């Protein structure tokens, strides 16, 4: 896929990516999430970047983590696929949001899901992610009310059947 923005490569996660993923997550929550969520919700969602070790542990639990890296091999976005078809995290740094980077990551994830023989995918999507996943053919099952650090937030349970 040709991206509109800076050249990116889609590759698998490396342990050296962990700190960058923590920063991308935090920047995306506060930069992209600010369009749809109140400041107190953003602080509850990501009060500060998580320790790199936490991200390294996540990536080592069997999930597939794909990273979009720039020409200096620095991560700019990432997406996670759990082996049951759950898309756990999907975050793009605000500087690359809207450039096609997220679409390229999703295409890689869906190809991996198909190679694993998965019949469907599901996600709990934020407002911005809901808009993205609708364009990828997902349907909204329900709006979910959740709580983080005592603050009410919402997201959407979404699913997509994968054609065989």
The predicted-structure confidence for 40-85, as pLDDT tens digits, reads as follows: 999 999 999 999 999 999 889 999 999 999 999 999 999 999 999 9
Which among 119, 110, 95, 113 has a CA at the least distance from the CA of 3? 95
- The percentage of the chain sitting over the pLDDT mark of 90, rounded to a whole number, equals 91
Residues in the chain: 164
Give the three-state DSSP class for 39: helix
Count the alpha carbons within 13 Å of 143 in the hemisphere toward its beta carbon: 5
Domains within the chain, CATH numbers bracketed: 9-118 (3.40.630.30)
Give the three-state DSSP class for 66: strand
Cα-based angle 93, 1, 77 (whole degrees, multiple of 5): 15
Could you tell me the pLDDT band of residue 6, with boundaries at 50, 70 and 90? low
- How far is the CA of 1 from the CAs of 10, 17, 19, 85, in angstroms? 10, 23, 27, 23
The pTM of the full predicted model, rounded to 2 decimals, is 0.93
């Amino acid at each position: 896929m040709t991206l509109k923005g800076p050249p990116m490569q889609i590759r698998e996660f490396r342990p050296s990516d962990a700190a960058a993923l923590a920063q991308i997550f935090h920047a995306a929550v506060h930069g992209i999430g600010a369009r749809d969520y109140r400041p107190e919700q953003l602080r509850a969602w990501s009060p500060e970047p998580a320790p790199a070790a936490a991200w390294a542990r996540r990536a080592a639990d069997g999930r597939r983590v794909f990273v979009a890296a720039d020409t200096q091999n620095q991560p700019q976005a990432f997406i996670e696929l759990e082996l049951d078809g759950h898309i756990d995290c999907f975050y793009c740094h605000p500087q690359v949001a809207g450039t096609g980077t997220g679409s390229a990551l999703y295409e890689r994830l869906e190809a991996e899901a198909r190679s694993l023989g998965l019949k469907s995918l599901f996600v709990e999507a934020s407002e911005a992610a809901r808009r993205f996943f609708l364009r990828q053919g997902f349907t909204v099952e329900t709006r979910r009310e959740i709580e983080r650090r005592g603050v009410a937030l919402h997201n959407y349970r979404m699913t997509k059947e994968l054609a065989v």
